[in-house]
Amino acid sequence: MTHRTYSIGEASRLSGVSVRRLRFYADQGLLPPAGRTGSGYRVFTDSELVRLDLISCLRDVGLGLDTIREVLSKELSLTEALTLRLRTLETEIAAQRRIAAALRAALRSPELTEADLRRFWTMTTLSRDERRSVVEAFYERASDGVNIDPEWMRQMIEASVPELPDDPTPEQCDAWIELSSILGDPGFAASMRNNAKDIWDGATFDPQAWRVESDAVVVKATDAIARGLEPTSAAGHALAREWLETSARLLERKPDADFRIWLRAKYALHDVRATRYWELVAILRGQPPCSSPNREWEWMAAAMKHHLADAAFPS
């Protein structure tokens, strides 16, 4: 470094920083002058100009004076300071994106009201933990008084907590709003609770065994759909019979007339929102709605309804 000195006016011209700003940095202890003239005016050297350049860079990226002071005094490394700033910026950007998502969703309403705006804002600004709380609250209501295995319920919550990205698409915003409405409906919780009672309270239910058998049925239904077979076909008849017998075994019941009547009632009372739920979760995860096995289960439900209604369906 040279030992050439500059007046505050010269330092201002060389650096592009105003004289007022230079005085402010000097007063704050960020840019102590190299000395003063006999008249008391501050003087700076090339070393101070280099330091000023660093201060300007750190200010441009948004660091506060206290953080800059820590960097200059070596209390905080430059890497640490920039890492902290980056995290702050990313948080701010995510928040701005959520605001934009809420506004986009609101502006799609044909007759926007203040209540709509509040609803869109609330739905799109919830954190993942807050969205998880919405799901957990639903499962608590749906399992109230039912002997449901806690581990199974935990797995269901983990599988269905909606993943809303920082910059959600309009479709994802709409999906979360619709899903929130479903989860908050007492009628839906009551419907799921009644269904759970029949499954969990009547037998020693093995959720793992049910999952294995369900996955096997989905594979067969997928194949039938790919082959263009209708639920009312012979293949649908055979698969309905197989699932009826499997269901009875897993629920520790006999596939007799009473069981068929009970199962027919279950399919008749099926809440379509349970199907829609998983479609919405898929959308929130950036997947197409059909990525959930809803199509296969709808095909199976049609096959079961058709064949359970058939008086000729054998015992």
In terms of C-beta density within 10 A (0-12 exposed, 13-18 middle, 19 or more buried), how is residue 193 classed?
Answer: middle
C-alpha span between 2 and 102 (Å, rounded)? 56
The per-residue pLDDT for 242 is 93
Asked if 277 and 200 sit in the same domain, the reply is yes
The per-residue pLDDT for 1 is 45
The candidate with the shortest Cα–Cα distance to 78, out of 54, 48, 52, 62, is 54
The per-residue pLDDT for 23 is 92
Asked if 182 and 127 sit in the same domain, the reply is yes
Q: Which domain covers residue 38, as residue numbers?
A: 6-76
Asked if 131 and 71 sit in the same domain, the reply is no
Asked if 276 and 172 sit in the same domain, the reply is yes
C-alpha span between 115 and 101 (Å, rounded)? 17
The per-residue pLDDT for 149 is 79
C-alpha span between 296 and 275 (Å, rounded)? 11
The per-residue pLDDT for 202 is 60
Is pTM, for the whole model, over 0.85?
no
C-alpha span between 233 and 251 (Å, rounded)? 27
The per-residue pLDDT for 235 is 92
* Residue 286 vs residues 98, 136, 149, 173, 294: alpha-carbon distances, Å: 16, 22, 30, 11, 17
Asked if 294 and 163 sit in the same domain, the reply is yes
As for how many domains the chain has, the answer is 2
C-alpha span between 285 and 165 (Å, rounded)? 8
Burial track 29-47 (b if 16+ CB lie within 10 A, e otherwise)? ebbebeeeeeeeebbbbee
Low-confidence ranges of the chain (pLDDT < 70): 1-3, 119-120, 122-125, 163-168, 170, 201-204, 291-292, 310-315
- CB hemisphere CA count around 101 (13 angstroms): 27
Of 44, 61, 76, which marks where a domain is finished?
A: 76
* Residue 245 vs residues 146, 171, 198, 204, 257: alpha-carbon distances, Å: 25, 40, 17, 17, 12
Asked if 56 and 136 sit in the same domain, the reply is no
The per-residue pLDDT for 201 is 67
Asked if 134 and 216 sit in the same domain, the reply is yes
User: Would residue 270 count as lying in a domain?
Assistant: yes
State the chain's maximal CA–CA distance in angstroms.
Answer: 114
User: Would residue 105 count as lying in a domain?
Assistant: no
Asked if 72 and 127 sit in the same domain, the reply is no
Asked if 66 and 133 sit in the same domain, the reply is no
As given in the structure block, the two tokens for residue 27 are 């007063």
Asked if 64 and 129 sit in the same domain, the reply is no
The per-residue pLDDT for 205 is 72
The per-residue pLDDT for 227 is 93
